[in-house]
């Protein structure tokens, strides 16, 4: 039987979820998570609340999107705290399945992420996006949301999900929510809790590099990447160092790298690397304007100011 704490219903099996879903009236927004909820997740839940009559949150650490040498076993699992946050944010339904509920047997038919899933983060983590898309499709089938909310911090993930929904005619509206940051600019992540104080200082180089790239947007794509890389070169000599996986400027809909000096339109400056044993990612959306519309060199960058917790 599903648990109920106040108005929050917690379903752990497919049958409990189906029973809870059958009682939903109006529109339903789903916020898929792997738990270890923080202020970034709260922002997703709040957007869901503004957008739909009913809000559901899924909490499931998906083994399919972790590689053999990644942190699946140590990934933080804080269900009691997560449920308290969901209750405080007015969530109506939480789906918190076990691994055997989500995968009763080893899946043989899965979602393949295609060429977009093999570049940038996909090149650094082979198979990651196949596993992510597979679990998202399963959640869409089980929860049957009208819309789903994802964070823009995982920009390639968001682009992949939008592509899957479009290519497979999935009747779910996919919405993105802006990245929430610590006061020093570090993007909020469940993995930040792994960082020591010294590692935390090094991790802040990621957002500093993105801000430097944004400051150079008026000078064109190559200068954006050069400015960001200059900061990251300093991070490589920090103690402990930031070991980069990639720094790329890409088209936000395809994640193909932008190398045309005359490019105009939207772009994403994305970076990822290891601090100690912790894999961190970050990105910043940019827009390259035609020369006659380009901002003056003194114009501020578009990096959103940090949001206080």
Q: Which residues are catalytic?
A: 41
Tokens for 114? 């295609």
Q: Which helix (H) or strand (E) holds 132?
A: helix 128-143
Listed in sequence order, the residues at least 6 apart from 242 whose beta carbon sits closer than 8 Å to its beta carbon are 202, 203, 205, 206, 232, 235, 236, 273, 274, 275
Q: Which helix (H) or strand (E) holds 31?
A: strand 28-33
Helices 128-143 and 155-167, axial angle in degrees (round to 10)? 60
Q: Which CB contacts under 8 angstroms, 24+ apart, belong to 296-301? A: 296/218, 297/218, 299/218, 301/211, 301/214, 301/215, 301/217
For the chain, what is the total number of helices (H) and then of strands (E)?
10, 10
């Amino acid at each position: 039987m599903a648990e109920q704490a106040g108005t929050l219903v917690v379903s752990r099996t497919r049958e409990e979820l189906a029973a809870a879903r059958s009682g939903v009236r109006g529109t339903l927004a789903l916020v898929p998570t792997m738990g270890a909820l923080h202020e970034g997740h709260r922002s997703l839940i709040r957007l869901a609340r503004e957008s739909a009559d009913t809000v559901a949150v899924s909490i499931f650490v998906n083994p399919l999107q972790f590689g053999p040498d990644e942190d699946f076993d140590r990934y933080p699992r804080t269900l009691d705290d997560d449920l308290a946050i969901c209750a405080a944010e007015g969530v109506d339904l939480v789906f918190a399945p076990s691994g055997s509920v989500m995968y009763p047997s080893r899946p043989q038919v899965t979602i393949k992420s295609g060429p977009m899933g093999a570049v940038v983060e996909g090149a650094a983590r082979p198979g990651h996006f196949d596993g992510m898309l597979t679990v998202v499709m399963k959640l869409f089938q089980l929860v049957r949301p009208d819309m789903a909310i994802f964070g823009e911090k995982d920009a390639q993930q968001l682009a992949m999900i939008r592509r899957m929904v479009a290519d497979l005619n999935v009747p779910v509206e996919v919405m993105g929510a802006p990245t929430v940051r610590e006061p020093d600019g570090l993007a909020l992540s469940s993995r930040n809790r792994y960082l020591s104080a010294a590692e935390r200082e090094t991790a802040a180089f990621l957002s500093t590099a993105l801000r430097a790239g944004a400051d150079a947007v008026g000078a064109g794509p190559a200068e954006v990447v050069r400015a960001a890389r200059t900061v990251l070169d300093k991070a490589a000599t920090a103690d402990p160092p930031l070991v980069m996986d990639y720094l790329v400027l890409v088209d936000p809909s395809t994640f193909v790298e932008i190398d045309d000096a005359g490019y105009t339109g939207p772009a994403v400056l994305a970076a990822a690397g290891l601090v100690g044993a912790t894999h961190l990612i970050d990105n910043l959306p940019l827009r390259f304007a035609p020369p006659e519309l380009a901002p003056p060199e003194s114009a501020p960058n578009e990096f959103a100011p940090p949001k206080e917790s």
